[in-house]
Amino acid sequence: MDRPYLPVPPAAALRGAILEAAPWVGFEELLDHCWAAGIPVLHVNNFPADAKKKPMGFTLRANGRPAVVLCVDKSQPAWLLFILAHELGHLHHGHVPENGALLDETVHENVPDAEEEQADRYAIELLTGNAATCLQVGGRWPKADRLAQLAREFGRRNRVDPGHVVLNCAHTEGGGFWAVANAALKLLYPDADAVGTVGERVAANLDWEKLPEDSSEFLSRITRQEAPG
């Protein structure tokens, strides 16, 4: 792509810029910012069958340009939203070496690693504005439809993506609450196709004519996205 790479700004600055035109920092808004800033974002989930553990995402830098690869195969955008924000945190803090890559096998799972903690803090500030901005469900867990309603209301008040509200709540509650959270996400976004959304941006933003034919075919195959034309 010809678009120059613009360094990732502080979380508060990026959040403020996105909120000028959007109700909250959502997956599509953050995805579009990345492409506008010269940061390609791909989705790749084709790994060897005998791989012991697949990464949730990774970031690489090549010839002065970073790229983010999302690996979680989920249709709900909230799952990919935090990973993308986390990877931008790594870029902002300079964790990714030039002509190298940084793989995240776990994201937001209390991993005792200084760089991971920095990337998590960046992501939380970007998505919520404040680490304390989270939905509290109290002692008795709500049903999925009630959780979806609470997340919508909380998201509108605090300018936080409702899907992230649900997942953040599930991360806090843990255990069986994940089933309730996943059901609530389906109610919030019944027609979600986050992986397809990533593929649409890849097809629209890359200059496919400048890619050698074998590179174009390989990229199309691993991203499950047809090159235009």
Are 161 and 84 in the same domain? Answer: no
Are 176 and 65 in the same domain? Answer: no
Domain assignment of residue 145, given as a range: 133-192
Are 160 and 182 in the same domain? Answer: yes
Are 99 and 43 in the same domain? Answer: yes
Per-residue pLDDT, 153? 95
Are 139 and 217 in the same domain? Answer: no
Are 110 and 206 in the same domain? Answer: yes
Are 95 and 207 in the same domain? Answer: yes
Closest CA to 82 of 121, 123, 131: 123
Q: What is the pLDDT of residues 26-80, one digit of tens each?
A: 999 999 999 999 999 999 887 777 777 788 899 999 988 999 999 998 999 999 9
User: Which distant-in-sequence residues (6+ apart) come within 8 Å of 102 by Cβ?
Assistant: 58, 59, 60, 90, 95, 96, 115
Between CA 60 and CA 101 the distance in angstroms is 4
Determine the distance from the C-alpha atom of residue 20 to the mean position of all C-alpha atoms in its chain, rounded to a whole number.
20
Between CA 56 and CA 178 the distance in angstroms is 18
Are 202 and 181 in the same domain? Answer: no
Q: Phi and psi at residue 95, in whole multiples of 5°?
A: -80, -15
Q: Indicate the number of domains in the chain.
A: 2
* One pLDDT digit (tens) per residue for the chain, 229 residues: 889 999 999 999 999 999 999 999 999 999 999 999 999 999 988 777 777 778 889 999 998 899 999 999 899 999 999 999 999 999 999 999 998 888 877 655 555 588 999 999 999 999 999 876 778 776 788 999 999 999 999 999 999 999 999 999 998 888 889 999 999 999 999 999 999 999 999 988 988 888 888 888 888 777 766 655 5
Residue pointed to by tokens 């196709």: 193
Are 38 and 96 in the same domain? Answer: yes
Strand partners, 70: 43, 57
Between CA 35 and CA 88 the distance in angstroms is 12
Are 122 and 224 in the same domain? Answer: yes
Are 22 and 108 in the same domain? Answer: yes
Per-residue pLDDT, 229? 54
Copy the structure tokens of residue 98: 């030039």
pTM summary value: 0.90
List, in sequence order, every beta strand (DSSP E) within 13-147: 41-43, 57-62, 65-70, 100-104
Are 125 and 217 in the same domain? Answer: yes
